[in-house]
A and B are shown apart, each in its own frame.
Chain A
Amino acid sequence: MTFVHQHAAHCESGVISSLLTHHGLPLSEPMVFGLANALAFAYIPLVKIGGQPLIAYRLPPQFIIKGVCKRLGVKVSFKKFAKPIDGAEALNTAVAQGQPVGLQTSVYYLPYFPEEMRFHFNAHNLVVYGKQGDDFSVSDPVFEEPVTVASRHLNKARFARGPLAPKGLMYRIESVPENIDYAKVIPAAIKKNCRIMLGAPLPVIGIKGVRYLSRKIAKLRGSEKEKRLFLGHIVRMQEEIGTGGAGFRFLYASFLQEASVLLKDPVLAEASNKMTDAGDAWRAFALAAAQQCKKSASINTEHLAQRVLECAEKEAAVWRELSSWCRGK
């Protein structure tokens, strides 16, 4: 069976969605994202990216794949390699067997990425589904069309070092379940996601984390240039890396809508609309931050902090609603 490329908003959910579809379990990207309870927020000052704190709008890499497969009972095998040569060999074998496999790679060494998007980000995901001569046929879910990558470039990208080093990670789906009990898995996934967003024990995770970020922005010190770089970093983390924060909110809203149709539950449809509002609030913040950075006058951090706080309030309301919905299940 030939592999069908799917354009997706996010690499990890896109890869797993197209792999599952290939194996006869058609799941949309939002459904994958939702069932993996992947929506999150974390502000981690200890982990630095280019000298700036890590700001994540979803669960860490690999959590989507592992989360959704565990919830549905899909069997996946993961393999990392100590030696690049073994990794290349394993990939050749899998491709020769006609099996599409998922790979974790760096973005920087992939030649088909736009020049201005090539940063040292090691947790990108893509599917390899064939080989012609020395070129691999690659389905990268964040691109519209499949691409070809020479084996030496792909090898370099698979064995890039640094934070979140992929170590040649290769995964494939071994088996998929016959049917899925949506009435059971959807509430379970939403419940887990509520716990992440509302009940995390640390002040930097979930809604508390969003409020923490708001306070950080309000108290921002240093030169205008430092402020500009920090705000630019937040916007980049939100919009560019993966699909970013707002994009993830819309992805989750889309999941809630799909779930409300499947379970015939109007409460989820209502929550989907509110999550859309939260996503719009995040976009409004990004726009405001960009405008503040553009103008030459001093940056109004108070105003921006207020915008982030609005996002926190809007999202908190949705999660509280979903949380009480879960209790009734």
Chain B
Amino acid sequence: MRSDEVPQDNSSTYAGHKKLLYAQNAGGEYVSIQSSGWEVEAAATIDAVTEYERLAAAARTEVVAGRKSPLLFHMYHNRMDLPLLAQVSGIWRWRIKRHFLPQHFARLNDTFLMRYADAFNISLAELKSLPENNL
């Protein structure tokens, strides 16, 4: 990559920050240059974020309809999937799957629920409910 080819696309994913890249200047010497983003990279990042948002939105509908517990929503909202949540919380996958159902989730005591709350870095009250704004 030549230094004048370093992308400066002002990507929203960088939130105004800059990333350092190494590129060759006109004389062929390697120099470090700050880049404000690359559309290709931003598109892939936003795609990944959107996928979690889509899953979270679908989960919200299920929770509101009373078919699933808020746990399912919080998992996707925190950009996790089942294997990751199992690893982060230290709870077996099949147990987590059960806790996706409202009737099982309602029976859990606060000590146990704290393990989920810790994993998401939220309070117990937040864990038991859905956040207001529709993300």
* Any B CB within 8 A of the CB of A224: no
Q: Can you list, as one digit per residue, whether each of B16-49 has a CB less than 8 Å from chain A (1) or not (0)?
A: 0111111110001110101000111101111111
| Chain B residues, CB < 8 A from A131 | none
On whether the beta carbons of A48 and B83 are closer than 8 Å, the reply is yes
Q: Knowing A114-B15, A117-B13 touch, does A8 contact B20 (C-beta < 8 A)?
A: yes
Task: Tell which of A30, A109, A290 touches B22, judged by Cβ atoms closer than 8 Å.
Answer: A30
Q: In chain B, what residue has the closest Cβ to A115?
A: B15
On whether the beta carbons of A276 and B43 are closer than 8 Å, the reply is no
Q: What CA separation (Å) do A289 and B38 show in the bound complex?
A: 14
On chain B, the number of residues with a Cβ less than 8 Å from chain A's Cβ atoms is: 41
* Any B CB within 8 A of the CB of A187: no
* Any A CB within 8 A of the CB of B129: no
Q: Knowing A114-B15, A257-B29, A286-B40 touch, does A247 contact B22 (C-beta < 8 A)?
A: yes
Q: In chain B, what residue has the closest Cβ to A33?
A: B22
Q: Knowing A161-B88, A293-B43 touch, does A116 contact B12 (C-beta < 8 A)?
A: yes
Q: Knowing A109-B121, A293-B43 touch, does A144 contact B79 (C-beta < 8 A)?
A: no
Q: Can you list, as one digit per residue, whether each of A65-104 has a CB less than 8 Å from chain B (1) or not (0)?
A: 0000000000000000000000000000000000000000
On whether the beta carbons of A7 and B30 are closer than 8 Å, the reply is no
Task: Tell which of B28, B47, B81 touches A232, judged by Cβ atoms closer than 8 Å.
Answer: B47
Q: Knowing A116-B46, A232-B48, A247-B22 touch, does A258 contact B30 (C-beta < 8 A)?
A: yes
| Chain B residues, CB < 8 A from A229 | 47, 51
Which of A56-64, A192-200, A236-244, A301-309 is the interface stretch? Answer: A236-244
Best-surrounded residue of A233, A250, A253, A272 (most CB of chain B within 10 A): A250
Task: Tell which of A144, A156, A240, A279 touches B121, judged by Cβ atoms closer than 8 Å.
Answer: A156
Q: A229 to nearest B CB, angstroms?
A: 7
On whether the beta carbons of A7 and B34 are closer than 8 Å, the reply is yes
* Any A CB within 8 A of the CB of B103: no
Q: B13 to nearest A CB, angstroms?
A: 4
Q: B130 to nearest A CB, angstroms?
A: 19
Q: What CA separation (Å) do A293 and B44 show in the bound complex?
A: 9
| Chain B residues, CB < 8 A from A239 | 38, 40-41, 44
Q: Can you list, as one digit per residue, whether each of A193-232 has a CB less than 8 Å from chain B (1) or not (0)?
A: 0000000000000000000000000000000000011001
Task: Tell which of A50, A108, A250 touches B81, judged by Cβ atoms closer than 8 Å.
Answer: A50
Q: What CA separation (Å) do A233 and B29 show in the bound complex?
A: 32
- Using a CB–CB cutoff of 8 Å, the interface residues on chain A facing chain B are 7-9, 29-30, 48, 50-51, 108-109, 114-120, 142-144, 156, 160-163, 228-229, 232-233, 235-236, 239-240, 243-244, 246-247, 250-251, 253-254, 257-258, 272-273, 276, 279-280, 283, 286-287, 289-290, 293-294
- Using a CB–CB cutoff of 8 Å, the interface residues on chain B facing chain A are 1, 12-15, 17-24, 28-30, 32, 34, 38-41, 43-49, 51, 79-81, 83-84, 87-90, 119, 121
